[in-house]
Structure 1
């Protein structure tokens, strides 16, 4: 295991422990509920916040902190966990379509937040901004592909999760633009829902083949 992977795993473990502690602390405030109701809330929050998730945003908060000279992980944990909680709640607050739009901040804003916690200099912030967009786009496109074709055992999401949610990803919107396929109308903001996941996957696979052969652009 290389150093970057090892450090990323350490960040994830720290964030998971801190989130678990935070949930326990908040559940303790539910004394006005009966015990079964408290346990129901606890189970829901654990499933919603702790189970699954790649912890990408907290990881980038941590790397922004380190890039700016931060040395004590405990100092950046509250900020890292806040970003994760905001991300987890975004689809409930905004709906899946706007939630997808917020994904563009996967890299740059978390890096900036970690940089700010460490009190980093303007030059480092500019370097982080120069580095972040291309990586953020690559991560988002990979997530879009996984949201359609990904193995649930690896992604932690149902097969075709983005299709089932009607999530307006760049992948699906671009495919709709290039093909005009009615199967993709739902992801273009129209009234009709998208086609079934197998149908849409087939349409996207055919588009990929056409593009590889110099077809629709």
Structure 2
């Protein structure tokens, strides 16, 4: 970030607020799960513990995540991220405070698009010149590229569902599951593990084992996040209570809730989900409907099943070091712990 800060500053002093905003966004919080799984995927394949190269490659995944979050917040019209103003809101506020001309919301949106794109460019730069042998980077690049394509595809399907999908039809659960897999589950755990493994020259057997461990764990992680998006404490999530309901997200939790409610309550939840100007009281009413449906209990049961599947696969994985197994077990717990 210091290197990129210097580059932006050399182009124009007007870019200093951009450099500062990106530095703050990257360094002030976040779970760092994707870099952690990439690192331990490397270690499990026999990679050196103190390699500066794997630190750079893993950090590239955090730049990818930051890019996705900046764009995601804009698409969802989120006001906050990690308890602070989201990127587009930060630049809207800068426009307002400076007394500039024009539409401040359009300015904030434009800034967020460009800053998210910049993070995506830096992600690729850092991965390619992380310091590992070029052959190792080349071996891992297909997985790295696949991960980025999958998350963008999942994000588009997530944007599509509220406007084109029928939440009441039989395919709603299938569509929600597809979004869950590609927007989050693969991208958060399975692919980072496999990127790390390929960087260390892992066998196909270990790469497959990481998939068997990582995909169900990634699904459990997203299901936990979905529960937090409806019932979470803002002090923990960094977002307002019921933010997923306010944004109209058609998650697996919501799909199960619509299936579990009677016809009248299901139509009420479906029609009010993501409606403009929902008040805190209305969000509480929608949360009550979700709770009444029994969907939260179903999701908790599914998380337990997925964790059993994931940890079973971890026990069978041909890892280079038992320390790695212990670390991955701890990361699995951290990713899915109940926090509301």
Name the TM-score, length of structure 2 as normaliser. 0.48
Pick aligned residue for 1:98 from 150, 155, 167: 155
Q: Find out whether 1:51 has 2:57 as its counterpart.
A: no
Pick aligned residue for 1:124 from 197, 203, 206: 206
Aligned residue in 2 for 1:32: 11
Name the TM-score, length of structure 1 as normaliser. 0.72
User: Does the 8 Å CA contact 1:149/1:201 hold for their aligned counterparts?
Assistant: yes
Task: After TM superposition, list the pairs within 5 Å mapping 1:14-163 onto structure 2.
Answer: 23-30=1-8, 31-34=10-13, 37-71=14-48, 72-93=50-71, 95-96=75-76, 98=155, 101=179, 102-105=183-186, 106-163=188-245
Aligned length: 185
Tell me the distance in 1 between the aligned counterparts of 2:296 and 2:36.
37
C-alpha distance 192-159 of structure 1, shift in aligned 2 (>3 A)? closer
1:92 shift after superposition: 4.7
User: Does the 8 Å CA contact 1:61/1:110 hold for their aligned counterparts?
Assistant: yes
Q: Unaligned regions of 5+ residues in structure 2, if any?
A: 77-153, 159-178, 299-340
Q: Find out whether 1:181 has 2:267 as its counterpart.
A: yes
Deviation readout 1:147-174 (Å, 9 max, x if unpaired): 1111122223332232333333221233
Aligned residue in 1 for 2:143: none
1:194 shift after superposition: 9.7
C-alpha distance 113-90 of structure 1, shift in aligned 2 (>3 A)? same
User: Does the 8 Å CA contact 1:183/1:199 hold for their aligned counterparts?
Assistant: no
Deviates more, 1:97-106 or 1:70-79: 97-106
Tell me the distance in 2 between the aligned counterparts of 1:165 and 1:143.
14
User: Does the 8 Å CA contact 1:64/1:111 hold for their aligned counterparts?
Assistant: yes
User: Does the 8 Å CA contact 2:227/2:296 hold for their aligned counterparts?
Assistant: no
Tell me the distance in 2 between the aligned counterparts of 1:198 and 1:184.
15
SS of 1:29's partner is helix
1:192 shift after superposition: 5.1
C-alpha distance 111-185 of structure 1, shift in aligned 2 (>3 A)? farther
Deviation readout 1:52-96 (Å, 9 max, x if unpaired): 321111111112111111123422122212222212222555745
Tell me the distance in 2 between the aligned counterparts of 1:167 and 1:74.
39
Deviation readout 1:112-157 (Å, 9 max, x if unpaired): 0110111111111121111112211111111111111111222233
SS of 1:28's partner is helix
C-alpha distance 181-48 of structure 1, shift in aligned 2 (>3 A)? farther
C-alpha distance 75-210 of structure 1, shift in aligned 2 (>3 A)? closer
Tell me the distance in 2 between the aligned counterparts of 1:86 and 1:57.
10
SS of 1:52's partner is coil
SS of 1:76's partner is helix
Task: After TM superposition, list the pairs within 5 Å mapping 1:177-216 onto structure 2.
Answer: 177-179=259-261, 180-185=266-271, 196-208=282-294
Over aligned residues, Cα RMSD in angstroms?
A: 2.9
Q: Unaligned regions of 5+ residues in structure 1, if any?
A: 1-22, 213-217
SS of 1:126's partner is helix
